[in-house]
Amino acid sequence: MPHPVQFARVFLPRRNVFLYDARMAAAKARNGFPILDGAYPIIGHLPEMYRRFPALCARGLAAHGPLFWIHGGPGAPQLMFADPRAFDILKHPNASTSFYSEGFSALLGNTLFAFDGDEHRRVRAQFAPSFTPAAIRKTDVLQIVTEAVAGGIDRWIDAGEIDPLIGAKEIALEIIFRVVGVPVSDLKSWRRQYSRFLLAGIPSRGKWRGPLYWIAKRARDWLDARLGKMVDDLRASGDASTLVGAMANARDEAGNFLPTLLVVSNLRLLVFAGHETTASAMAWSALHLAASPEFQRRAAEEVRGSGDLIELGTDPQRFTFAEAQFRESLRMYPPVHSVIRRATADLPVDGAGVIPRDTLVNVPFVHLMRDPSRFAEADRYSPDRFTERPRPSTLETAMFGGGPHFCLGYHIAIAEGTLFNLHFAKAMVRRGVRARLSVDGPLPGPVYLPLSHPPRGLAVTFEGGK
């Protein structure tokens, strides 16, 4: 399912779409910044972004320098900022995300994603303590991850062949549902209602709300009623031993619980933000593992004779090969290819001019994570880049964003991907199988929209076996 950032990119509503496209196609510059050529009428640069997003950034950079307009679909002109200075925008108080709730109120209204400034700080401060590495270890998260990945991978091997993206999505959705408190026996009906709720990602406002909006809204009411009851029950029992319990029982500075609807909306956000992203990087990890007998040897060596994989995977003193592989998958293929901010006032950019108020600025992670001046042989998949502890640099975690909206689930995502890779290796050792890619030659590149992910038609097969 698309990330809100991508919805915003493609669908941000504008009244005079057609007129605007025509004007933009004819112009060479806008607000003093050049417009990248090659846009189609109406769909703009979307086809190029779809399969060649990094090449589009490189093309614009070579032609115009780091700041240039692209046309991200109907009525969505964005100022691309293809330079590491773009990260400063994410920290700027005049860079807003509130537009997320304008066309997608049913999906993102009342969530951290769409809050700015003090409101964002206040709400995030209540939830953040539940997402630290220490809190995650204390709650049920790692146990849930372990059960879901171990069970999922066993099913993959039993089947003999798997499309790893489909398989990883199933695992990641199970994890995030169980993390927000859904009983295992109810997963099927939650999956059904959740996929209806995602129709809220089709933008709608006022009189334009069609049947899909109402289907999504009914599903959201279904989910919210159950999440609300969970929150009430957890408050009545005072149980804060699980992640959802800790979030439900968080209190503000005055000692009051947060409004139930606020907690419920943000539990929904966790599901939305936290499963396709992780699934994409897990799928790339599985594909690269299957493509390389050498990686399989190293992965097997790491888990052979190991006891507790949670201990191994969350050891703060070192990167396991499993973690390095997951981080390298995120670097090569950042699932969130870029994020967008709206300037609420003129934004001066160090040495690059002033971005005018109301501009939508695109910060393209796909470009920044392959910057050859920062990553040697940037187009090569090499987990050995990630060998140093204690802390990866800001650039190395940039695919999780920056500034106040930096991914709240970062530690969960890293633990999830690492445990996935460890259990994958362990299951192959235990069952005596090797993984192989269904296609010969180098792995094809990603599809970038709406979230970047492996293209269809790639499978991992399992050979051998006891």
Q: Which residues bind ligand HEM (CB under 6 A)?
A: 5, 97, 112-113, 124, 269-270, 273-274, 277-278, 281, 330, 335-336, 339, 399-401, 405, 407-409, 412-413
CB 277, min distance to ligand HEM, A: 3
User: With respect to ligand HEM, which residue has the nearer C-beta, 74 or 401?
Assistant: 401
User: With respect to ligand HEM, which residue has the nearer C-beta, 79 or 399?
Assistant: 399
CB 461, min distance to ligand HEM, A: 25
User: With respect to ligand HEM, which residue has the nearer C-beta, 332 or 408?
Assistant: 408
d(CA 254, CA 251): 8
User: With respect to ligand HEM, which residue has the nearer C-beta, 35 or 408?
Assistant: 408
User: With respect to ligand HEM, which residue has the nearer C-beta, 420 or 462?
Assistant: 420
CB 101, min distance to ligand HEM, A: 12
User: With respect to ligand HEM, which residue has the nearer C-beta, 250 or 429?
Assistant: 250
CB 433, min distance to ligand HEM, A: 26
User: With respect to ligand HEM, which residue has the nearer C-beta, 330 or 428?
Assistant: 330
Judge contact between 355 and 346, C-beta under 8 A: yes
User: With respect to ligand HEM, which residue has the nearer C-beta, 50 or 406?
Assistant: 406
Judge contact between 181 and 230, C-beta under 8 A: yes
CB 43, min distance to ligand HEM, A: 23
CB 347, min distance to ligand HEM, A: 16
CB 309, min distance to ligand HEM, A: 19
CB 408, min distance to ligand HEM, A: 4
Lookup: tokens for 274: 């936290």
Residue 251 has a CB neighbour count (10 Å cut-off) of 10
User: With respect to ligand HEM, which residue has the nearer C-beta, 309 or 408?
Assistant: 408
What's the 3-state SS for the chain? CCCHHHHHHHHCCCCCHHHHHHHHHHCCEECCEEECCCCECCCECHHHHHHHHHHHHHHHHHHHCCEEEEECCCCCEEEEECCCCHHHHHHCCCEECCCHHHHCHHHHCCCHHHCCHHHHHHHHHHHHHHHCHHHHHHCCHHHHHHHHHHHHHHHHHHHCEECHHHHHHHHHHHHHHHHCCCCHHHHHHHHHHHHHHHHHHCCCCHHHCCHHHHHHHHHHHHHHHHHHHHHHHHHHHCCCCCHHHHHHCCECCCCCECCHHHHHHHHHHHHHHHCHHHHHHHHHHHHHHHHCHHHHHHHHHHHCCCCCHHHHHCCCCCCCHHHHHHHHHHHHCCCCCEEEEEECCCEEECCCEEECCCCEEEEEHHHHCCCCCCCCCCCCCCHHHCCCCCCCCCCCCHHHCCHHHCCCCHHHHHHHHHHHHHHHHHHHHHHCEEEEECCCCCCCCCECCCCCECCCCCCEEEEECC
CB 183, min distance to ligand HEM, A: 19
d(CA 217, CA 198): 9
User: With respect to ligand HEM, which residue has the nearer C-beta, 298 or 405?
Assistant: 405
| Pairing between β-strand 433-437 and β-strand 460-464 as defined by DSSP bridges | antiparallel
Cα end-to-end distance, the chain, whole Å: 37
Question: Which residue carries 């599903």 as its tokens?
Answer: 219
User: With respect to ligand HEM, which residue has the nearer C-beta, 21 or 328?
Assistant: 328
CB 445, min distance to ligand HEM, A: 18
CB 199, min distance to ligand HEM, A: 21
User: With respect to ligand HEM, which residue has the nearer C-beta, 45 or 341?
Assistant: 341
Closest-by-Cβ residue to ligand HEM is 409
CB 214, min distance to ligand HEM, A: 26
